[in-house]
Amino acid sequence: MSPFMRRYLYILLSWLASLVPCSVSAGELDSTLTVSLLTCSPGQLSYELYGHTALRVRSEQTGADYVFNYGAFDFNTPNFTWRFVLGETDYMLGVEPFDLFLAQYRYRGSSVTEQVLNLEPWEANRLAVALKNESHPDSCVYRYNIFRNNCTTRARDRVEAAVVGEVRYAIRFRRNTFRTILHEFTVGHEWAREGNDLLLGADVDTLITDRDEMFAPLYLMDYFADAMIVGTRSNFRPLVRSTQVLLPENPDRQQQMAAQLPATPVSPCQLGWALLVAGLLLAVWEWRRRRILWPVDAVLLTLQGLAGLLLTFMALFSQHPGVASNWQVMVLNPLPLFFVWSVARADRRREFHVYHAFAAGLLALFLPVYCWIPQDFSWLILPLALLLLSRALLHIALFKVK
């Protein structure tokens, strides 16, 4: 089933949720109702790399068995791509039969683990009613935030709101940042990691709390495993009653899905250093002939400026977390776009252009403090900075110093 059809079904099922008795209504009490946290292991597509979380509501009394999924979104939303870039993506709470939900993860080869929550009947019913009300088309939409308000954090928050008392989690003595967790789930997917590292700035490199770690589905499952509910009379009970793997991971199917993705012959790291070596060899050739190949400068400045335009736009206008503190704009910024034509003209005339002095100065400031800036940089940044600096110094040596 294509991603489009899956999302379309989510929207349709969200509407049907108001017609299907998937949970009890307020004022009734179903003593057979159980609520479970479902955790799905990562897949191969970019939006599947971090896993997924959903809530299962099942009633032996009515036979209902539905999954409430905060990960639904509509590709047909007006200006979807533009809103996504701006960080104004709206997700929704979708509802679907449990068998259909499970079939999707069987198809992609991911595991599904169920943690049955140790809720009292009135707590389970209260949670089911809250989910049913929220899944109505008039109230199912929410503003997505990858770290603070996603399919996992919303499931956690709904469970915490339903219990009588307080959910307390065991302390983890870890020293994670948002970026280290993202890196953990992009192992083997270098270009997905590179995209994150290019766009996310220093804010995602600060140490986070245990609660912050729960944005990742597998981390929330770990925290739920030994969490306790502290009642109003200080009585304790485990949050999770039982745990079982409903669907084991299928490595063969995962490999089949991975084989369908476009091949990436080189990694970002390999590409960066290959460009640097090629640039240095070209610089030697240009130095010996005392001339600059102006098309090389034109292409390089254009690409640098376009990448910088994206980073600057994200920093200034996007609501995505972490993009406003990106030190990589010292290397990738939109200023070169203003000088492409004049630099190319100066190259053809074999004249010095002041832009090269500015670029060399900026990069000379950046490189000595590269290791001290509190940000985990993209693999491309260091070789690109060295390449751009070598181009600027070549111009200065050829045309300024005579």
Q: Report the amino acid identity of residue 384.
A: L
324 backbone dihedrals φ, ψ, rounded to 5° = -85, -5
Q: What's residue 199's pLDDT?
A: 94
Concatenate the DSSP letters of all residues of 10-41 into one string. Answer: HHHHHHHHTTS--SPPTT---TTEEEEEEEE-
Q: What's residue 401's pLDDT?
A: 56
State the first-to-last Cα distance of the chain, in angstroms, to the nearest integer: 66
The low-confidence residues of the chain, meaning pLDDT below 70, are: 1-27, 74-82, 400-402
Print the SS3 string covering 285-313.
HHHHHCCCCHHHHHHHHHHHHHHHHHHHH
Question: Measuring CA to CA, which residue among 326, 369, 380 is closest to residue 203?
Answer: 326
Segment 53-91, tens digit of pLDDT: 999 999 999 999 999 999 887 666 666 666 777 777 889
CA angle 106, 111, 117 (to 5 degrees): 115
Q: What's residue 21's pLDDT?
A: 46
Q: What's residue 29's pLDDT?
A: 84
Q: What is the DSSP letter of 262?
A: P
Q: What's residue 261's pLDDT?
A: 84
Q: What is the DSSP letter of 255?
A: H
Compute the distance between CA of residue 253 and CA of residue 104 in angstroms, rounded to an integer: 12
Segment 76-86, tens digit of pLDDT: 666 666 677 77
Asked if residues 43 and 109 have their Cβ atoms less than 8 Å apart, the reply is: yes
CA angle 81, 85, 89 (to 5 degrees): 70
Full-model pTM: 0.88
Print the SS3 string covering 181-246.
HHHHHCCCCHHHHHHHHHHCCHHHHCECCHHHHCCCHHHHHHHHHCCEEECCCCCEEECEEEEEEE
Helix or strand or coil: residue 361? helix
Its sign, for the CA torsion 10, 16, 20, 24, is positive
Q: Scanning the structure block, which residue is given the tokens 């985990």? A: 376
